[in-house]
Structure 1
């Protein structure tokens, strides 16, 4: 990626492979950084990814705990419905979601990107399975102190589930940052909700192919993802180890 970003169009089209161009050109990075659309895309993608990730984790954690610990006659049917949702292809819900967003007037807006994605059946399933193995003794101790389900969840369960939640946070943030089809349909290239992935697609059109600009912008767009990974790396490894996701 770095090599292509600093190569000339002739070097990119050449059939002779070179490990590094003889005359690297770093101007593509300057062009990208000076483009106000790139700054807008970075800000929009950051807001979208953070909102989607936090919203999905909060909703999934509360739903998963309710399905695992709160006795109710609808708990099993709702869990079965959640598992059923995992079997439904995303393409079948794409058009209905867009129609709802359009009727609400959320096209080309941040809420149109975020709100329809706040519920993740996969995260609910994982949280529910995690809370089933959560030590009941800790919850019972909280109930003896007079805490209800919400108090036990906020003051006992959540602090002891940060490692697991952090692992899902990294995966959710990367997925939200790399989302392309939904932001393309909802926002397109409009300035109201232009995301990084949609911005990158504009370097390749039917008439032009700006590979140097594309790879330079792609490299710069990796910085927020790397920051999130570095910050949550310790929690991610701990979460994978504690949940057994890493294998035997």
Structure 2
């Protein structure tokens, strides 16, 4: 693809920073430090395109009050707020349930993820052949709140069934890619991811990507999958920021996503 002058057209991948790990550190001691809202401001001031959080019913990291405060901040800044969560998890304590929380905040994007309390982190996508019928009315409700809906998906996912839910995007689970890259065998995980992304785009879905992405493996993934609409990155980014600083680390990720042509 080229622009009018014949140069390669630049495909923009947006970076959304996941702040869950900031909340983990805060919750480990109680109180307010490190401050999730302050971290969000630093990320946005450094150029991040949006903020992602994944509130869990057990409040292991991001809490409902964080979601409300970050919703106000992102709305005031005019940037994207992406809330991830399991739409089937019932309300518990201060957690009102994902749809009720989204009704209060009206995030730009909601990423539906099939995680449970027993999972340390999200480690698989939906079984769309099984779950599409129950996802469909939830997608409709979120669209009524003016939220774009993305569905967490494994490589090789049933794209036709995903499309039947009415969702706008899938988010490819990239954990296996990160593992293969670290093992020195990145090509082992790429073909299925590339095929799934191509089938999703051909069916009219946008493509996001996330999980275990880092400065080391992100560029190669984006080169292979381009175009990718958005990446949400938290664990590695926050870990790298402990050494190099949060603003500097966000800028380095932006340099990677902006380098894709």
* TM-score of the alignment, normalized to the shorter chain, above 0.5: no
Relative to total residues, which structure has the larger helix share, 1 or 2? 1
> What TM-score results when the alignment is normalised by the length of structure 2?
0.20
> What TM-score results when the alignment is normalised by the length of structure 1?
0.21
**More RCO (CA 8 Å, sep 6+):** 1
